[in-house]
Amino acid sequence: MNSRSSNSRKPVHLAVYDTFADWETGHATAYLARAGHAVRTVGASTDPVSSIGGLSVRPDLALDDVRPEDASLLILPGADLWDTSDDLAPFARTARAFLDAGVPVAAICGATAGLAREGLLDDRDHTSAVSLYLAATGYAGGGRYVEADAVTDRGLVTAGPTEPVAFAREIFRLLGVYEGEVLDAWYRLFHDSDPQAYAVLAKAGAA
């Protein structure tokens, strides 16, 4: 584990909203918590929300009470609402505030479209489900689209809906949770089911 994550850690903020894709962030939040990062859920209010899988979550914080300086990362999962209404636009604006303050943001699946509409992908390398999905938002960043499992550029992680493990890998790299052969082994274990990777993690105390 990198020394950057063994010092005092600020919480990771996980955005939650109706129809959020609960499977997309589980790898990341589970191992962030193991590394000592508190994970705090953030909703439009503190009223309960339901994930796309039917899980009910009562947010720890309301969006209006969130300050970038109090967090180490903002995670935005996908959700049907990113594509069907403007209800989640405030979360994209909060992502802008985080990035402007130098605090990283990680967006997966439909959340990448929300950031595209906010203009946050116009000047950063990024990825998503497919390039046409983001092009439909009318954004100006098509030339920066990268065909990759996950992309990190200037504090912003992006990934498509089928890449929750790569999404977590980039978050761990960005926050210094794992690095080098340990990060590679974590990815190989959870993405490739490589049994040899477990021994590397166990030796490093990261299993």
Rounded CA separation 114/152 (Å): 17
- The two three-digit tokens of residue 12, written as one number: 């990771």
3-class secondary-structure state, position 46: coil
* Catalytic residue status for 157: no
What sections of the chain are H helices per DSSP? 26-34, 81-84, 89-100, 110-117, 131-135, 164-175, 180-192, 195-203
Among the listed residues 109, 116, 157, 206, the single catalytic one is 109
Q: Is residue 85 classed exposed, middle or buried when 0-12, 13-18 and 19+ CB atoms within 10 A define those classes?
A: exposed
Number of H helices, E strands in the chain: 8, 9
Q: Which residues are catalytic?
A: 109
